[in-house]
Structure 1
Amino acid sequence: MPHTTVEYSGTLAEALDRPAFGKALHEALVTVAGGRADGCKTRFVRHDDLYIADGSPDRAMVHVEIALLSGRTPEVKRALTEAVLAALRENTAPTPRLEVQFSVDLRDLDRESYARHEEPRTAS
């Protein structure tokens, strides 16, 4: 746990270094928010059909949605969103022809109702 979804404009496919951002994101989830490294899961979703602001093809976006078990303070949540924004900027190459919007949304998962199951590996 935590679960993260990164949605990004297809025009940023070459600019967004997904492995490097994923690594930085997971490090922030562990060091800032106290998550477990082996529980971090990130899905990257490319969108080629977006309409941003006035619909100009010169606009692009990366939106990160993080779902964490509840219990973090507002200060920890803010520190995490700032760290994620910084990691996005560091791991997205300059795109002079595009106006890029970065955003982060952090949501609490209810500890009382969240459930998970992990299948153990079998020896081969």
Structure 2
Amino acid sequence: MPQITVDYSAGLGDGFDRPGFAKALHEATVGIAAAKPPACKTRFRRTEDIVVGPETDGHAHVHVHIALLPGRTDETKARLTEAALELLRAHLEVAEGLVLHASAEVRDLDASYRKFESW
């Protein structure tokens, strides 16, 4: 916890500082949602295709999913979502002529969530 997944368009690969974004988002998550630094984990999933309305060209997307253990207020979740979007602006260069669709969400992990670390 937190479990962070970032889906992003393949066309953004070279202009997206993924390690820098992850580190900055981890810091924000610690500061805003009281997560522990070693617990922050981010994985990136590159998506090959995006279709927006009838268009298959000229668009790119990034969606940040942040899953936390229950107990954070809606205000805290909203602050973290806004921070994620601001950090995207700082770590992402979008090619001219490309329309970026960026979004983020914070949700509670289900009560069934469990984890273990290797021993």
Give TM class, smaller chain: over 0.9
Find the counterpart in structure 2 of residue 118 from structure 1: 117
**Does structure 2 conserve the Cα–Cα contact (< 8 Å) formed by 1:4 and 1:41?**
yes
Using the aligned pairs only, state the percent identity: 46
CA distance, structure 2, for counterparts of residue 72 and residue 41 of structure 1: 18
- Counterparts in 2 of 1:26-105, with a 5 A limit? 26-105=26-105
**Does structure 2 conserve the Cα–Cα contact (< 8 Å) formed by 1:5 and 1:45?**
yes
* Structure 1 residue 56 displacement after superposition: 3.6
Please say which of residues 4-13 and 45-54 is displaced more in the overlay.
Answer: 45-54
CA distance, structure 1, for counterparts of residue 106 and residue 51 of structure 2: 23
TM-score (normalised: structure 1): 0.90
Structure 2: where are the runs of 5+ without partners?
A: none
Secondary structure of 1:13's counterpart equals: helix
CA distance, structure 1, for counterparts of residue 3 and residue 103 of structure 2: 16
* Structure 1 residue 114 displacement after superposition: 2.2
Greater fraction of residues in helix: 2
**Does structure 2 conserve the Cα–Cα contact (< 8 Å) formed by 1:84 and 1:104?**
yes
CA distance, structure 2, for counterparts of residue 13 and residue 80 of structure 1: 24
Which one has a bigger Cα radius of gyration? 1
Instruction: Give the partner amino acid of 1:6.
Output: V
**Does structure 2 conserve the Cα–Cα contact (< 8 Å) formed by 1:52 and 1:60?**
no
**Does structure 1 conserve the Cα–Cα contact (< 8 Å) formed by 2:59 and 2:98?**
yes
Q: 4+ runs of 1 displaced by more than 6 Å?
A: none
Q: Deviations over 1:49-90 (max 9, x none)?
A: 222232241111000111100100111111000000000011
TM-score (normalised: structure 2): 0.93
Secondary structure of 2:53's counterpart equals: coil
Secondary structure of 2:33's counterpart equals: coil
